[in-house]
Structure 1
Amino acid sequence: MTQLPAGVPTELFIGGVWRDGSSAERFVVQNPATASTLAEVASATPQDAVAALDAAVAAQESWSRTPPRRRAELLRAGFEAVTARADDFALLMTLEMGKPLAESRGEVAYGAEFLRWFSEETPRIYGRYSIAPDGANRILVSKRPVGPCLLITPWNFPLAMATRKVAPALAAGCTVVVKPAALTPLTTLLFAKVMQEVGVPDGVINVIPTAHSGATTAPLFADPRLRKLSFTGSTEVGQALLRQAASNVLRTSMELGGNAPFLVFADADLDAAVEGAFAAKLRNGGQACTAANRIYVESPIAEEFAAKLSAKVAAVKVGPGVEAGVGLGPVIDSDALGRIGGLVSEAQELGGRLLVGGHRVDGPGYFFEPTVLVDVPRQARVLTEEIFGPVVPIATFDSEDDAVAVANSTPFGLISYLYTTDLSRALRLSERIETGMLAVNAGVISNPAAPFGGVKQSGLGREGSAEGIEEYLETVYIGIADPFAGV
C-alpha cells in the first residue's frame, strides 16, 4: 500500500497550533482507488470554528498593517516551498482524490502559481486622488482589506482551490479560516503547514476540517466579526450559504456549478476539436466545474467527430492514479459512481447509443469506464445536469442560432467551448453565449493570470488575475475640503 508523504498533519490548525478538535472526534479520509483508509482527521466543532475566527480576528490588524512587500515575500516563499515539495503534494492529491500522478503534478504547478501571481499583485493595490468636478473638495479613494474571511474549498482540486482563495486574501491583508472538503482535507493541511514553515504569522491562516460542515460553520455566519465568504462547490449549497451570508451582509465570492457546452462547427479543425474535447472532458476524470459537460457537434461532421473521439477515449488506461500509464483514476466515492451510472442508463432509455464504456469497473475502488454516448436527446439529464464524471454525451445542432440556443438553455454559465475557424463567428458567439469564460479552439484555459468565474447560477465574483485581489478589498472614499478655500 502506498504511504502518505511524511509529515502530513491530521489535526486542526488554529492560531498557529496543531490541535485535536474539542470533541476529540475524528473522521476517515479514504483512498477512492482502493476504498481503504488513508488517515483519520480531527473533526472541528462549532466551538473550534469560533476559536479559529477568534485567532483570525486577533491577527487581522497586525497582518493588515504588515508592509505589502513583506506579505508579498511570504507568498513568494510559499510558492517556492510548495514547488520544492511538488512530489509530496502530487502523491497526496492522487491518494486522497484519485487523479493520475501526471495530473496531480500539473495541479501543483497551477496551484503554486496563485501564490506567485498574488505575491506580485500585493504591492500593486492602488488608490487615486482627484479634484471633484465642482472643485468643492478633493476625492481620495483608498483600498483596505475586507477583514477576516471564511474560505470553503471543494474536494476536486484540493491544492489549487486552497491557493486560489488563500493567496489573494493574504495579499489583500485579510486573515482566513479555511474549511476544506471532508473528502480531501489532507492537501490543505499540508499546505497550511508549509505556509507556517515559511513564516506566515500565527492566526493568519487557520484550517478546520470537519465531518459536519453546516453545523460547524453556522456560528461564523452569525458572528459580525466575519466579513467575507468565498465558496466553491455546488449551486445548491452555494444558494444556502448565500442565505446565511445575508444575515450579516457578508461580501461573497461564489464559484458554483457548471454545465459547459462544447460547440464544434463544421468548419472546425476536426482533429484539434477532438483533442480539445478529450482534454476538456476527461481532465480530472470529468470531475471539474469546467469540464465539457455536453458536446454539441454540427450535424454534417457529427459522425466523424464521434468516431475519432471514441477511439481516443477507448484507449485510455483506467486504474489507480499512482500506477504508470494510467489516464483515468477513480471517481470520488460510491455515491458519485451510482449517480453517473444512473445518468448513463437514463440516456440509453431515451434513445442514446453507447459507443464506448458505460459501466462500472469491478474491483476495489470507485471506477467508471470512460464513456461516449451519441444520439442523446436534449431532455436527457446527462445533458441538463452536471455529470462530474468521465461521460461524454454527444448531440447535434443545425445552425448558429441553434448552437446558441442549446448553449444558453441551462441556468448555468461558467465556461463554454467553441471550435471554429471563422473568427467572425467566434466574435459573434462571444457576445451571444451566456458565459463567464469562453474557450475558443482550446480545451483548457484556466490560468492564475485570468479572471475565473461565471454568470447566472454559476456564481458571483472572480478568482485569479487582477480581479481576484479586488474580491478581498473594500473601497473607501475620503472627502477632503478644498485646500485653496479662503486662500
Structure 2
Amino acid sequence: MVATIAEREKELLDRVPTGLLIGGRWRDATGGATFDVEDPATGRTLLALADAGPEDGKAALDAAVAAQESWARTAPRERSDILRRAFDAVTARADEFALLMTLEMGKPLAESKGEVTYGAEFLRWFSEEAVRAFGRYSASPEGTLRVLTVKKPVGPCLLITPWNFPLAMATRKVAPAIAAGCTMVLKPANLTPLTSQLFAQVLLDAGLPAGVLNVIPTTRAGDVTGPLIKDSRLRKLSFTGSTPVGRRLLADAADNVLRTSMELGGNAPFLVFEDADVDAAVAGAMAAKMRNMGEACTAANRFLVHRDVAEAFSTALAGKMKALTLGRGTEESTTVGPLIDAKSRDKVDELVSAAVSSGAKPLVGGAPAEGDGYFYQPTVLTDVPADNRILQEEIFGPVAPITVFDDEDEAVRLANATEYGLAAYVFTRDLGRGLRIGERLEVGLLGLNAGVISNASAPFGGVKQSGMGREGGPEGLSEYLSTQYVGISDPWADRA
C-alpha cells in the first residue's frame, strides 16, 4: 500500500532525533526543557526538541575540546572517506531531507530537492579537499634557511546557522571543519533545527567519532553561545545571519581575538541594461528573486532597469509572478511557499505599504495572502523612489521593487549605494560592459547573465557589512586552517 503524505510525514518525523548531540550521544537538555518546531504553512507543531541551556553549551564545548587532539591527528583520507559516505547517504535519502526541509521551512518540494543536491555537494567537494591542505618547502631568498609551512586545524569551532537553508548552511560549515580536522559545536536556528538533527545522525552513521560534532538547538541563543565565545578554548566562530547580530558577535569575539567568518546581510542589485535579452533577464530575475520565496541573502533585492527596457521588463516580470501558485510546499502545484513566521510576513507587508504610500505602484500582489500560514503574494512594484526604505533594507520576501536608470554611471552609483556588498546580478549582451560593471560593483559575488550562481566549488562571501571570510571552494577549507612556519637551518651550511 502506498503511504499517504501525512503518513510519510509522520514516519519521517519519528526518525528525527529530538535531543542534544553531545559527546556522540543524544541526550535531554538540562532540566528537561523543550521547544516546539512548527510548520509555517499551517502553524501546526511538528516536533518538540530539547532546548539547550548554558550548561549544555558548556558540555558541548567540553566534548569538542576533548576530541580535538585525536581528531586533528586523524589521517586526511579518513576524514575524506567519512565525508564521502555522508554525501552518499544524504544523496540516497534526498527525498527524506527534502520533505523535512519543506515541513519545517515551507519551501516547495522541488526547491527542497534542489537544496539537497546543493548542500550535499559541500560534502563531496570537501571530501576531495581534505587531502589537499598543502603547505610548502622552499629556500629563503638569502639561502640561510629552509622555509617549511604547515597547515594545521584551527581547533574547536562554534558554527551558527540560519533558518533559510537548513541543510546547505549546515553542510557548508560542517564539511570544511571536518576536512580540516576541527571539532565543532553546531547551533542551528530554532525555527528550522530538524534538518540539522537528521544530518548529524547521518554523520554519526558515516563514522564521525564522538565529540567531533556536537549539536545544541536552543531558543536562548545568547545565553548559550555567549559563554562559549568568551571561552578561551574556542578557536573559531562561523556565523551566517543578520548584520546587526553579526556586529554583536564580532564585538564579543574580540576579547579572545577569536578567528571569525561572517556571512551577513545582503541588498543585491539586479541590473538590466538596454541591450539585455529581456526574456533571459526576466528568467534570471525569477531565479534570483523567488528562490526560497525571496528568503535568501543573495536574493535580488533591488531591480535597477534601464529606462528603455523598463516597461517591457516590468510587464513580463509581473506576468511571471502572477502565474505562481501559493500553497503548502508538499502540494505538487505549489511554486511559492509561506514565509518563515508572522513577524517576517508582517515586515514584508510594512515595507510594501510604505513604498506604495510613497508613490510606488503594484503591478501584481502587494498584500498578505488570505488563509492559514504566513503567506505573502508575489509582488512587483514600479516607480519606486530611489531613496525609498524598501530599497535600503533586506526584504526577505517575494517582492520585486523596480527603479530606472539612464546610464552606466547612474546604475553603478545606485547599485553601490548600500552598506551591504554580498551579491549583484548584471544582464547585458556586451561582455565587455559586463566585466567593466563587475569591476566597479562593491560585492563579493556577481552573476553575469545568471540568476543563480552559488556553487560548492566557488568562494561564497561578501564585502562591506555583508561580512568577511569565504565558504566553499579551496578558500572555504583555508578558513578552518592555520599556518605554521618552521625555519630550518641551511642543510648545506656544514659542507666544505
- Relative to structure 1, the CA distance from residue 260 to residue 192 in structure 2 (aligned partners, 3 Å threshold; closer, same or farther) is same
Aligned partner (choices 82, 98, 105) of residue 113 of structure 2? 105
Aligned partner (choices 147, 155, 172) of residue 164 of structure 1? 172
Sequence identity, in percent?
A: 63
Per-residue deviation, 1:42 = 0.5
The SS at the match of 2:413 is helix
1:201-240 aligned within 5 A: 201-240=209-248
- Alignment gaps of 5+ in structure 2: 1-5
Does 2:418 align with 1:418?
Answer: no
The SS at the match of 1:418 is strand
Does 2:160 align with 1:152?
Answer: yes
- Relative to structure 1, the CA distance from residue 4 to residue 359 in structure 2 (aligned partners, 3 Å threshold; closer, same or farther) is farther
The one-letter amino acid paired with 1:97 is: M
- Relative to structure 1, the CA distance from residue 271 to residue 451 in structure 2 (aligned partners, 3 Å threshold; closer, same or farther) is same
The one-letter amino acid paired with 1:135 is: G
1:85 maps to what in 2? 93
1:95 maps to what in 2? 103
The SS at the match of 2:30 is coil
Does 2:304 align with 1:293?
Answer: no
Per-residue deviation, 1:378 = 1.1
1:248 maps to what in 2? 256
2:340 maps to what in 1? 332
The one-letter amino acid paired with 2:231 is: D
Residues of 1 paired with 2:389 and 2:197: CA distance? 36
Per-residue deviation, 1:23 = 2.4
Does 2:29 align with 1:21?
Answer: yes
Does 2:144 align with 1:140?
Answer: no
Per-residue deviation, 1:4 = 5.8
CA RMSD, 1 decimal: 0.7
The one-letter amino acid paired with 1:32 is: P
The SS at the match of 1:123 is coil
Aligned partner (choices 3, 14, 20) of residue 10 of structure 2? 3
Residues of 2 paired with 1:368 and 1:133: CA distance? 63
Residues of 2 paired with 1:110 and 1:167: CA distance? 13
Does 2:492 align with 1:481?
Answer: no
1:182 maps to what in 2? 190
Per-residue deviation, 1:3 = 2.8
2:3 maps to what in 1? none
Show structure 1 runs of 4+ deviating over 4 A. none
Deviations 1:251-292 (A, max 9, x none): 100000000000000100000000000110011000000100
Deviations 1:322-349 (A, max 9, x none): 0012110000000001100000000001
The SS at the match of 2:130 is helix
2:137 maps to what in 1? 129
Residues of 1 paired with 2:453 and 2:333: CA distance? 25
The one-letter amino acid paired with 2:79 is: R
Deviations 1:129-156 (A, max 9, x none): 1111111111101100000000000000
The SS at the match of 2:141 is coil
Aligned partner (choices 394, 399, 402) of residue 410 of structure 2? 402
2:356 maps to what in 1? 348
Residues of 1 paired with 2:426 and 2:10: CA distance? 42
The one-letter amino acid paired with 1:126 is: F
1:429-444 aligned within 5 A: 429-444=437-452
The SS at the match of 1:161 is helix
The one-letter amino acid paired with 1:54 is: D
The SS at the match of 1:392 is strand
Residues of 2 paired with 1:396 and 1:3: CA distance? 49
1:60 maps to what in 2? 68
Does 2:129 align with 1:116?
Answer: no
Aligned partner (choices 309, 314, 325) of residue 317 of structure 1? 325
Residues of 1 paired with 2:10 and 2:192: CA distance? 16
The one-letter amino acid paired with 2:209 is: P
1:307 maps to what in 2? 315
1:263 maps to what in 2? 271
The one-letter amino acid paired with 2:439 is: E
Deviations 1:172-220 (A, max 9, x none): 0001100000000000000000110111000001000001001111111
The one-letter amino acid paired with 1:100 is: P
Per-residue deviation, 1:381 = 1.3
Segment drifting more, 215-224 vs 306-315: 215-224
The SS at the match of 1:257 is coil
Task: Tell me if structure 2 keeps the 8 A contact 1:4–1:92.
Answer: no
The one-letter amino acid paired with 1:112 is: A
Residues of 2 paired with 1:435 and 1:337: CA distance? 27
Residues of 2 paired with 1:272 and 1:33: CA distance? 31
2:291 maps to what in 1? 283
Per-residue deviation, 1:361 = 1.1
Task: Tell me if structure 2 keeps the 8 A contact 1:4–1:38.
Answer: no
Residues of 1 paired with 2:119 and 2:194: CA distance? 15
Task: Tell me if structure 2 keeps the 8 A contact 1:138–1:481.
Answer: yes
Residues of 2 paired with 1:373 and 1:147: CA distance? 48
Task: Tell me if structure 2 keeps the 8 A contact 1:15–1:52.
Answer: yes
Does 2:59 align with 1:43?
Answer: no
The one-letter amino acid paired with 2:134 is: Y
The SS at the match of 1:124 is coil
The SS at the match of 1:429 is helix
1:76 maps to what in 2? 84
2:453 maps to what in 1? 445
2:39 maps to what in 1? 31
The SS at the match of 1:126 is coil
Aligned partner (choices 370, 395, 420) of residue 362 of structure 1? 370
Per-residue deviation, 1:103 = 0.2
Deviations 1:84-107 (A, max 9, x none): 111110000000000000000000
The SS at the match of 1:450 is coil
The SS at the match of 2:356 is helix
Task: Tell me if structure 2 keeps the 8 A contact 1:331–1:368.
Answer: yes
The one-letter amino acid paired with 1:443 is: G
